[in-house]
Amino acid sequence: MSDASIEAEDIPLEVVSDVEQTWQGTASDLLNAYVVVPGKILLDDKRAILGFGIVLTYVLIGTVGVWLLEPTQMWAGDRLEQPFQSMEHPLGTDTQGRDLMKLLVFGTPPMLLLMLSGGLFVVTVGTLVGTVAGFSGGRLDEALSTMTDVALTIPGLPLIIVLTVTLKPENPVLIGVLLGINGWGGLARNLRSQVLGIREEDYVEASTAMGVSTGEILLKDVLPNVMPYVLYNFMSSMRGVLFTYVGLSYLSVLPWSVENWGIMMDMAYSNGALTSAAMVHWIIWPIVMVAVLSLGLILLSQSTDKLFNPRVRARHQD
């Protein structure tokens, strides 16, 4: 039989599936891959359930809570009313009669917003610089590595203090970016070392040989391998922004607000809350808010590695 007599449909490589993927099927696959399976994995981890519950509670406080409650005013209650004495002021009041629960609630939205913006800034810049430097090599790698080294040598806290005092930011998003401005260097350095090994893998070399674009290789072959580490750093960066914000607020470096948890601690300390039993609740509640939120982020970060484990995902596939 001559080559001319061989029909195209007889060649296996020329056979095309008659089944077309509908948009409903595509949407179902995406929903299963990015919502259902991750949800099942997290529900099997007690740490993830507790961490997610804590973070979700803070999100509800910062959204529904500020909608249900009215901002507190001076002398809204008696001076230094103790907690759990009345339903009107369940967490007590400060020396000027302000309701502590309302102060904590209305201080939550800017806190969450700046934590999110700071964490996103750190992981976006760190991931971009680290993956591109590790995969590209050559002069671009040298330039990005030099920029990373410079960022790592700059003292973080003095830089943040200088920038906040100079710019005097009031927008929570801008404050979060400034607080995380020096946190991407370590992530970029570690990601570069990981990507240097990943780019030598057979499947990455095969994609390169087939002419797949660098951007597509980074998105489909490189990033999935480093995402557990990126997510862990995202949670850690949010915690770092939280602690830095509260600390600088306590030192009155950032814009002053009575709803700010750090300002509440500073005011309570200045009035002698550490030595007076009648005032101790004033400083305890903002500390509890910071500690519990930090715990929730730690628990979530410890459980994110399972989301990208192929064996764990395979066990939860439908």
Reported as a single tens digit per residue, the pLDDT across 72-91 is 999 989 999 999 999 999 99
* pLDDT over 90, % of the chain: 53
Strand partners, 209: none
For the cut 70, the answer to whether the pLDDT of residue 238 exceeds it is yes
Helical spans, DSSP H, in the chain? 23-31, 37-43, 46-60, 66-68, 100-106, 108-136, 138-153, 156-167, 172-179, 184-198, 202-209, 214-217, 223-250, 261-270, 280-303, 310-315
CA distances for 236 relative to 115, 123, 273, angstroms? 10, 10, 30
Amino acid (1-letter code) at residue 43? L
**Of 11-25, 96-110, 206-220, 247-261, where does mean pLDDT reach its minimum?**
11-25
User: What is the 8-class DSSP label of residue 61?
Assistant: I
16 against 302, higher pLDDT: 302
Q: Give residue 174's Cα distance to chain centre.
A: 16
Q: What is the mean pLDDT of residues 45-72?
A: 92
Q: Is the confidence at residue 253, as pLDDT, over 70? A: yes
* pLDDT score recorded for residue 252: 83
Q: Band of the pLDDT at 138, cuts 50, 70, 90?
A: confident
Adjacent-strand bridge partners of 154: none
Residue 259 is encoded by which pair of tokens? 């709803």
Q: Above 80 in pLDDT, residue 18? A: no
Mean pLDDT of the chain: 85
Comparison of pLDDT for 304 and 177, the residue scoring more: 177
pLDDT digits (tens, 9 = 90+) for 105-119: 999 999 999 999 999
d(CA 58, CA 153): 35
Task: List the chain domain ranges.
Answer: 37-107+281-318, 119-256
**pLDDT computed for residue 33 by the predictor:** 63
Q: What is the mean pLDDT of residues 165-172?
A: 88
Give whole-number Cα distances, 128 to 204, 205, 226, in Å: 18, 21, 12
Is the pLDDT score of 275 beyond 60? Answer: yes
pLDDT given at position 43: 77
pTM of the model: 0.84
pLDDT digits (tens, 9 = 90+) for 146-163: 999 999 998 888 889 888
pLDDT of residue 317: 64
